């Protein structure tokens, strides 16, 4: 079994879909394949705008729906012979009437729940998978279209749902049709109570990983618009280049710290089932891409990649009785966790006078409110100082399995940034020493990434500065 996932740009229009079909055809793969597709690029964002407008009682959500319908119909007209378009056009039209009904409901009520948001967002993948399946059918790739909601079982965290692995693998084993080629929508799933959920932005990668692990596939391939995982975000540093091989842990850390090409939860099901992951470029299929596995070939590079997360807020808790008082950190994390807010970064000053956490800027005020409430009494007593939020910040992470044997990486990093007047606001090193991460002011992030990339990846001698002995 081979599982392939194609992202938004790979299904962006009729040309891209034809290119994707030729990638699959050229494989001549003798076994079975599951092809997971994202929504056409930009569609999920537009669906979010639709429900936001409807909720704000702005009837221009209807224009957006019309625009979306036109986009999908155009793709059909270019992909499928005219005399047989009628069936797929009818099915797509039906989906749009459903979407209109849901948005109309939101418009009338001026109100929306996460469950309804997930329902609206699901249309992107429902539409794209139906069109791709039909286009394949008429281009020499007979296939069976499935609905991933019938296979992937999640909790009721509608917009960021987590899969129940046991139930999901069971459903995949029991119900996956016996076809040589299956087309499945990414991103969408169903809660135990039967409601539509979505797996978080970028979640189609995770869908594909669940199908791969559930079928014990030989390989998962994720096809996007870049030649694999780059040494750093190619949009930030022009000198970034594709990394040939990475370990699961390295890939996970790079993804977690902002390498958007891979959705972080994707890796874990693959590790458990020991399934390698290949990142490839739909628009440059002859490039080898990046192979992610348990045993990457040894590399000269100690630092494999450099990730960056923007739009971070930093909250600092400080006080005069924090020394030796147990439980303060616990209260801090509990208060934030209760709000379902993800913490990217924790650091405690050595004197234990302060603890700083890094989280998404969008969650900043909510976290600040929760923490101020939790420590209200302590603040009144004067033992803890009012909390302090700073934003926008960026987290930069250096990632590589070999860093543990290499002294001096942190020193080089900090003096390089210091010499260039970039102030490091907080530092953290994971216990594994696979990662050194630090926080800088958002304005400094791109400059810091480029300075570090040029130092660690392209030295003046043309060799990596920190080569393995
Ligand atoms: P898809 O729609 O195919 O899932 P995404 O937009 O989610 O694609 O991810 C691909 C994008 O990730 C690339 O176009 C690139 O701009 C961005 N990106 C950020 N960091 C990295 C990195 N380290 N390596 C490769 N791409 C990266
Ligand atoms: N379409 C979804 C998104 O834009 C899922 C994905 O593309 O992976 O987030
Ligand atoms: Mg993606």
Q: Going from the N-terminus, what domains does the chain have, and what CATH number goes with each?
A: 2-225 (3.40.1160.10), 305-457 (3.30.2130.10)
Q: In what order do the strands lie in the sheet with 343-348?
A: 343-348, 354-360, 305-318, 388-399, 435-441, 424-429
Quick one: pLDDT at residue 467? 47
Q: Residue 302: which pLDDT band, with cuts at 50, 70 and 90?
A: confident
Cα-flanking dihedrals φ and ψ of residue 421, to 5°?
A: 60, 30
Q: Is the pLDDT of residue 247 over 90?
A: yes
Q: What's the token pair of residue 285?
A: 């299929």
Establish whether residue 208 lines the binding site of ligand 2, counting it when its CB lies within 6 angstroms of any ligand atom: no
The best mutation among 16, 125, 258, 261 to test binding of ligand 1, ranked by most ligand atoms within 8 Å of the C-beta, falls on 261
Q: What is the pLDDT of residues 406-454, one digit of tens each?
A: 778 888 999 999 999 999 998 876 656 788 889 999 999 999 999 999 9
DSSP 8-state code for residue 467: B
Q: What's the token pair of residue 17?
A: 């879909």
Q: What is the pLDDT of residues 6-63, one digit of tens each?
A: 999 999 999 999 999 999 999 999 999 999 999 999 999 999 999 999 999 999 999 9
Quick one: pLDDT at residue 39? 98
Compute the distance from residue 259 Cα to the ligand 1 centre, in Å: 7
Compute the distance from residue 262 Cα to the ligand 1 centre, in Å: 7
61-79 helix and 85-109 helix, angle to the nearest 10 degrees: 170
Compute the distance from residue 298 Cα to the ligand 3 centre, in Å: 28
Compute the distance from residue 329 Cα to the ligand 2 centre, in Å: 35
The best mutation among 118, 184, 186 to test binding of ligand 2, ranked by most ligand atoms within 8 Å of the C-beta, falls on 186
Ligand 2 atom closest to Cα of residue 205:
8
Compute the distance from residue 105 Cα to the ligand 2 centre, in Å: 24
Cβ 231 vs Cβ 240: under 8 Å: yes
Q: What's the token pair of residue 253?
A: 């850390």
* Mean pLDDT, range 129-156, rounded to an integer: 97
Cβ 279 vs Cβ 245: under 8 Å: no
Quick one: pLDDT at residue 352? 62
Strand pairing class (196-198; 188-191): antiparallel
Ligand 1 atom closest to Cα of residue 305:
23
Quick one: pLDDT at residue 62? 98
Cα-flanking dihedrals φ and ψ of residue 278, to 5°?
A: -115, 125
């Amino acid at each position: 079994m081979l599982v392939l996932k194609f992202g938004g740009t790979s299904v962006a229009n009729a040309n891209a879909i034809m290119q994707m079909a030729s990638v699959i055809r050229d494989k001549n793969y003798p076994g079975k394949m599951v092809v997971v597709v994202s929504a056409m690029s930009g569609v999920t964002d537009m669906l979010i705008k639709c429900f936001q407008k409807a909720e704000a009682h702005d009837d221009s959500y209807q224009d957006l729906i019309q625009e979306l319908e036109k986009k999908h119909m155009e793709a059909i007209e270019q992909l499928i012979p005219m005399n047989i378009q009628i069936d797929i056009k009818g099915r797509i039209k039906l989906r749009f009437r459903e979407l209109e009904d849901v948005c109309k409901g939101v418009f009338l009520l001026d109100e929306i729940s996460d469950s309804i948001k997930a329902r609206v967002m699901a249309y992107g993948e429902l539409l794209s998978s139906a069109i791709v399946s039909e286009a394949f059918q008429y281009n020499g790739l007979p296939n069976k279209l499935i609905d991933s909601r019938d296979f992937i079982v999640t909790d009721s965290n509608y917009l960021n749902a987590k899969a129940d692995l046991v139930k999901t693998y069971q459903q995949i084993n029991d119900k996956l049709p016996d076809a040589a080629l299956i087309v499945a929508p990414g991103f969408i799933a169903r809660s135990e109570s039967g409601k539509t959920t979505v797996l978080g932005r970028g979640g189609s990668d995770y869908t594909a990983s669940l199908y791969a692990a559930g079928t014990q596939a030989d390989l998962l391939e994720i096809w996007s618009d870049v030649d694999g995982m780059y040494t750093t975000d190619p949009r930030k540093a022009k000198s970034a280049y594709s990394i040939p091989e990475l370990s699961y842990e390295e890939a996970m850390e790079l993804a977690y710290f902002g390498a958007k090409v891979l959705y972080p939860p994707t890796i874990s099901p693959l590790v458990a089932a020991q399934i390698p992951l290949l990142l490839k470029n739909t628009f440059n299929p002859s490039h080898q891409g990046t192979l992610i596995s348990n045993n990457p070939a040894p590399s000269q590079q100690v630092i494999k990649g450099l990730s960056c997360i923007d739009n971070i807020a930093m909250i600092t808790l400080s006080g005069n009785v924090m020394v030796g008082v147990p439980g303060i950190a616990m209260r801090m994390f509990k208060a934030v966790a209760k709000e379902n807010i993800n913490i990217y970064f924790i650091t405690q000053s050595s004197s234990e006078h302060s603890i700083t956490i890094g989280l998404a800027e969008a969650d900043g005020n909510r976290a600040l409110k929760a923490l101020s409430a939790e420590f209200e009494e302590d603040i009144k007593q004067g033992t803890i100082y009012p909390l302090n939020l700073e934003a926008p910040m960026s987290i930069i992470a250096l990632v590589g399995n070999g860093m543990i044997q290499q002294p001096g990486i942190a020193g080089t990093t900090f003096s390089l940034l210091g010499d260039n007047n970039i102030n490091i606001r907080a530092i953290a090193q994971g216990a594994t020493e696979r990662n050194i991460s630090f926080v800088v002011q958002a304005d400094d992030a791109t400059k810091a990434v480029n300075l570090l990339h040029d130092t660690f990846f392209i030295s003046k001698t043309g060799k990596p500065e920190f080569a393995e002995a």
